[in-house]
Amino acid sequence: MDTDGVFVVLAMTSSGLLIWFLARRIRAGELHLIAGYRGDEPVDEDRLARSMSRVASAVAALTVATGVAYPILSIGPDDQVAYWGGYTVALCLLAGYAQLASRAARDDTDA
């Protein structure tokens, strides 16, 4: 494995493990979240924590898998944009889901 492959595996795996650690802390209620930029709106905190923990766990798994698959797939210079572009698109889809889940966690009882 070349130096680039080692760096990608180490960077992506350590990033994924950090994200997974944060997901566990969110699930345990040790980190407090707000639903978007409207922090004053009532929110179901347990539902928001469960949703964001699932999203963060998915991001962690995707990040680790992408890093580990990089040297296995022997991504050439011509395929770099497609490989990392696919990773970016998947992250954007997860971010969109997180936004929708955050909106769904708002309490509508006070409306």
pLDDT tens figures, 78-110: 899 999 999 999 999 999 998 888 888 776 545
Domain spans of the chain, in order of start: 3-104
Annotate 11-74 with three-state secondary structure: HHHHHHHHHHHHHHHHHCCCCCCCCCCCCCCCECHHHHHHHHHHHHHHHHHHHHHHHHHHHHHC
With 50 as the cut, is the pLDDT of residue 111 above it? no
Position 62 scores a pLDDT of 97
What pTM was estimated for this model as a whole?
Answer: 0.84
Q: Name residue 106's beta-bridge partners.
A: 43
In Å, how far are 32, 46, 87, 93 from 82, measured between CA atoms? 36, 37, 9, 16
| Higher-pLDDT residue of 11, 111 | 11
